[in-house]
Amino acid sequence: MRHTHRMSAAHMVEADILLCDEEEGNGEPIMAHPPETNSDNTLQAWLNEIVNTKKGIKLDFKSLVAVKPSMMLLEGIKLHLRRPVWINADILPGPSGSNTVVDAKRFLDTVTSFFPDVTLSLGWTTGWQPQQCNKGYSWAMVKEMAQICDALTQPVTFPVRAALVRQSTSELLWLLQKSNRYSLTVWTERHDEYSIEDLLYLRENFDKSRVYYDILEPQNSEFRKAIGIEI
């Protein structure tokens, strides 16, 4: 479970959602991070707990089949939700991405039929290799994303991998200027190598109010210290 913050924004809690017994297609939504595919933690129980907190919710979908049953559960508590809800999926292949993407049209149609105003978090599958020159997000990748999002009316945040952002500055700046509904969410995997300087460069070159951070320790504390935010 992870926390997302913009400098000064409220924290959000993230859950990876799969369908139990996915092959049969009739299981209930559970919280499990691939490669794990089973868990005793059901989405229903988690939502019942989180609804009483002041945290926002980010649901991250790895497959399409879990989306509709999860939206039905979320709809059941929506009158009690006091914080933002973000719905996330990787809908396009990205730099060195090998995971299966979630079908963009069907994902968007399902989510927006339940929640027409929800914040959509739409990303690319990615890979990263140590001691190698890792390519960033290409023009083709950001243009395809812009094409998909152009018809949407909801706020959209694009999750981008911290280790790939600096080499993608021009492309991501172009994408953000396509609409004032767009923002970035900078995220990282535990073993990614990137520097605080990379994050500071991003902060200097992008509108600060349109960048969220989902980064791990120790970089999170180092970054906050570097920009003068008390831990």
Residue 212 parent element (H or E): strand 211-214
Low-confidence ranges of the chain (pLDDT < 70): 1-10, 21-26, 34-37, 230-231
Q: How far apart are the C-alpha atoms of 223 and 70, rounded to whole Å? A: 34
- The per-residue pLDDT for 52 is 84
Q: Please give the model's pTM, rounded to 2 decimal places.
A: 0.91
Distance CA 93, CA 178 (A): 20
According to the model, what pLDDT value does residue 7 have? Answer: 40
* Mean pLDDT over each residue of the chain, to the nearest integer: 89
pLDDT of amino acid 34:
66
d(CA 109, CA 124): 18
- For residue 230, the model assigns a pLDDT of 61
Burial class (CB in 10 A: 0-12, 13-18, 19+), 157: buried
Rounded-to-integer distance, Cα 206 and Cα 187, Å:
16
Give the separation between CA 94 and CA 108, rounded to whole angstroms.
19
Q: Give me the pLDDT at residue 50, please.
A: 87
Gyration radius of the chain's alpha carbons:
17
**pLDDT value, residue 32:** 78
C-beta of residue 120 within 8 angstroms of C-beta of residue 67 = no
Alpha helices in 8-136 (DSSP H): 43-50, 67-77, 104-114
